[in-house]
Amino acid sequence: MQSRNSTFFNFRFAITIAVTFLCVINFGFSEEHDKHATHQAAKTAKLNVKLHTEPKTIKVGESTSLMFHLTDEKGEPFTDLMIHHDRTLHVLIVSENLQILGHVHPEDFESRDMLAELEGVYTVHFTFPMAGRYILALDVMTADAEFSKHLYVDVEGENKMQEITHDLRTEKDIFGYKEEGGDRFTKAVSIRDKMDTSPYHVKIEVSEQIKVGEMVHIKYHFSLDGKPINDLVPFLDAPMHFAIVNTHLDGILHTHGTVPMNGDTDKMKNDPHAAHKMKKSVKTGHQHQGPTPEKFGPTVMLMTTFKKPGHYQIFGQLKHKDQILFPTFMVKVEK
């Protein structure tokens, strides 16, 4: 066992080396960037992801390391990741009963291994609270494209997941979880957590019928002790994060909310392309939501489309003071 001091020293040493390497790589990359733009796009299209876990058999309640090995079409380490939403790599975790959510990043952990990342291996840690299947979404961005992939893990143990509940309420109390600092919240959250009362309340406004393929606008209204909250703050460079998963667990969408500005909501409804125009960042071509105000509320809007009919769970995540809120709503999508 290494002492804490020597672990810390190794960590500092690794960071120093990694930063030196990254500076060299970045310098070379920006010079060559234009020439290789097409090549980079092609490379992104062939990004492969393999997951290794430690321990190999994942057990309920035990901290598990999830190591994502990113390689290109030649099997070489894929390391040209850009920071987006304040992180190099985003991992969303959702249980098959659509009740548990996790949202973690390599930067969230002190044990982050920068040298391994130079070899294309990115690690996050997570403790799965229930046994069963989970879907994981991995989101990364290169200079030219965004990439997302989903994977599954099975968790063993006595504490089995409950059945899916089809809760179609559009209004509910939600709970605050204390932030861990630096826009971090690394624990699993369940919609069954803390069943006592909470001063936070959220109401969604959504059209009565949601159809496959149609752009849907869902407005979230937040209140605290009955008063509208107007000092929500960005979390990981977005007003709100969403993980959208259906009961078939056949995919997972990681998207972000927008803050409607005077009348913008109506403009978007009339011009179906307005939202798209607003979202496209000139710099990167990344589907971005535009600048997030320093303070906003009480309304945040989700714009999305659903590909299949059925029930979808929409997990939300946002920040108020030092509290991370997880408003979760289920919607039914028709043909």
- Which residues contact Cu ion (rule: CB under 5 A)? 90
What DSSP character marks residue 20? H
Helix (H) or strand (E) holding 23: helix 4-32
Closest separation in Å from C-beta 214 to Cu ion:
27
Sign of the Cα torsion 221, 104, 129, 311 reads: positive
Q: Considering beta carbons, is residue 90 or 150 the nearer one to Cu ion?
A: 90
Nearer to Cu ion, 254 or 320 (CB): 254
Q: Could you tell me the smallest distance in angstroms from the CB atom of residue 317 to Cu ion?
A: 9
Closest residue by beta carbon to Cu ion: 90
Measured from the CB atom, is 201 or 241 closer to Cu ion? 241
The C-alpha atoms of residue 224 and residue 230 are separated, in whole angstroms, by: 10
Q: Which two tokens stand for residue 90?
A: 């985003």
Cβ 115 to Cu ion shortest distance, Å? 23
Here the tokens at position 211 are 């159809």
Interior angle at CA 48, CA 281 and CA 63, nearest 5? 95
Q: Write down the least CB distance from residue 103 to Cu ion, Å.
A: 5
Q: Which is nearer to Cu ion, 102 or 176 (CB)?
A: 102
Residue 210's DSSP bridge partners are 333
Q: Which of 82, 113, 133 is nearest to 15 (CA)?
A: 113
Rounded least distance, CB 89 to Cu ion, Å: 8
When the beta carbons of 121 and 124 are compared against Cu ion, the nearer one is: 124
